[in-house]
Amino acid sequence: QLAGLAVIAFGLWLRFGGPMAEFATDKKSPELFFMGLYVLVGAGAIMSAVGFFGCCGAARESQCLIGTFFACLLVIFAGEVTAGVFAFIGKKVAIQEAQKIYEDAYEDYMKNPVGKVNSTIYRYHVALQCCGKGNVEQQTGLPCPENIQLPKASNCLTEIQNVIDTQLRLVGIVGIAIASITIFGMIFSMVLCCTIRNMREMI
């Protein structure tokens, strides 16, 4: 249950508290990336619910509940492996989607550098700590964050790739940790189930 709650908190932080949250405030968003986060939050919720049934099964010494607990953990484990493969394959597409969103905002700003478009691209620059697309000449007039180191942090497209790579790496680490907990949970549930059965046969 605690692992499930931790996964939910982690997924919500990546969705609403990290740099990628700024992309979700626009009309367009990298759907593939956020879809993976929703799957992560859903897996955490299922883990918490399954953990509750596992506790009830252990307390009542019910082979049926413990067997159900094992089956649910097996399904979660299979889902985690599938999601991990999906995230690895779709990483490039997620990066391209996020870069396209920034490029669209950049082009809109160049056409009309005032009002809402101005605040949109400035939001991206602050979240990513970058400014522009790497061309120093095109940075003139762009709303760049204060104290930003140019031209070192001038390419927002590179920063987007770095952010997504970092966050997907974190998701991978969390996924491995969850998978390990899931495997131990399946082992312990089967041991407990066998122990309960042996005790009842002795009685």
How far is the C-alpha of 130 from the C-alpha of 14, rounded, in Å? 19
Between residues 39 and 184, which one has the greater pLDDT?
A: 184
pTM of the full structure = 0.68
pLDDT tens figures, 26-60 = 556 566 666 767 777 787 888 888 888 778 877 77
> In the chain, what are the domains?
90-194 (1.10.1450)
Task: Count CB-CB contacts under 10 A for residue 130.
Answer: 27
CA-CA distances (angstroms) from residue 36 to 57, 90, 114, 167, 171? 31, 10, 34, 11, 9
Q: Residue 155: what are its φ and ψ, rounded to 5°?
A: -100, 100
pLDDT tens figures, 96-149 = 888 888 888 888 888 877 766 667 788 788 888 888 886 655 555 677 777 776
State residue 30's pLDDT score. 63
State residue 24's pLDDT score. 60
Region 162-167 average pLDDT: 82
